[in-house]
Structure 1
Amino acid sequence: MCFAGIWTNRTSVRKVKEGETTNDLYAFLTTEPNTEVFAIHPKAMPVILTTPEEVETWMTAPTEVALKLQRPLPDGVLRIVARGVKEDPAPTAA
């Protein structure tokens, strides 16, 4: 599985001290949430590509064909494996 995303190069001034630079910009595509994601984030979920064929379509098909992949996963495909506040273990002394 992977997220559907976009990439582009952009030349601009992001920091005055650095002047004009060319940077790689990335973003991932979102869609309405399915049932599992809605319980955590009711506004959106990432578009998840689940097969090699979907990845190939996303990477090579005309835009109107690729954008048909902008849909939530079917309900029941994702599984919540943890809930609550993440607790990292305390660092160990070296």
Structure 2
Amino acid sequence: MFAGIWVESWTSLRKLKDGETTDNLFAFLTTEPNAEVAEIHPKAMPAILTEPDEREIWLHAEWGEAKKLQRPLRDGVLRVGSPS
């Protein structure tokens, strides 16, 4: 599960040609890449929540606690494959 935010019905001027619009927005939190991801994307990787308690913290804790989840996965945890 990626750590992210969801905002429903955000009204703003995103594109001048479209004028003011109301949109549902989603963004995911990124962090420094671990060894596997750095080979492909050296700038960042998603903050990935792997344990049920991490998901609970992300969804319900104060930001001071939740922001500690913005860290790369341990090296060796991900397996990178290629498309068939």
Same fold at TM > 0.5: yes
Gaps of 5+ in 1: 88-94
Alignment of 1:51-90 (within 5 A): 51-82=51-82, 86=83
1:48 match: secondary structure: coil
Which is higher, the Rg of structure 1 or of structure 2? 1
- Give the TM-score normalised by structure 2: 0.85
Partners of 1:70 and 1:56 in 2: CA distance: 14
Gaps of 5+ in 2: none
Q: Deviations over 1:18-48 (max 9, x none)?
A: 7644211110000000000000010000000
| Structure with more helix by fraction | 2
Partners of 1:61 and 1:44 in 2: CA distance: 24
Partners of 1:36 and 1:17 in 2: CA distance: 41
State percent identity of aligned pairs.
Answer: 63
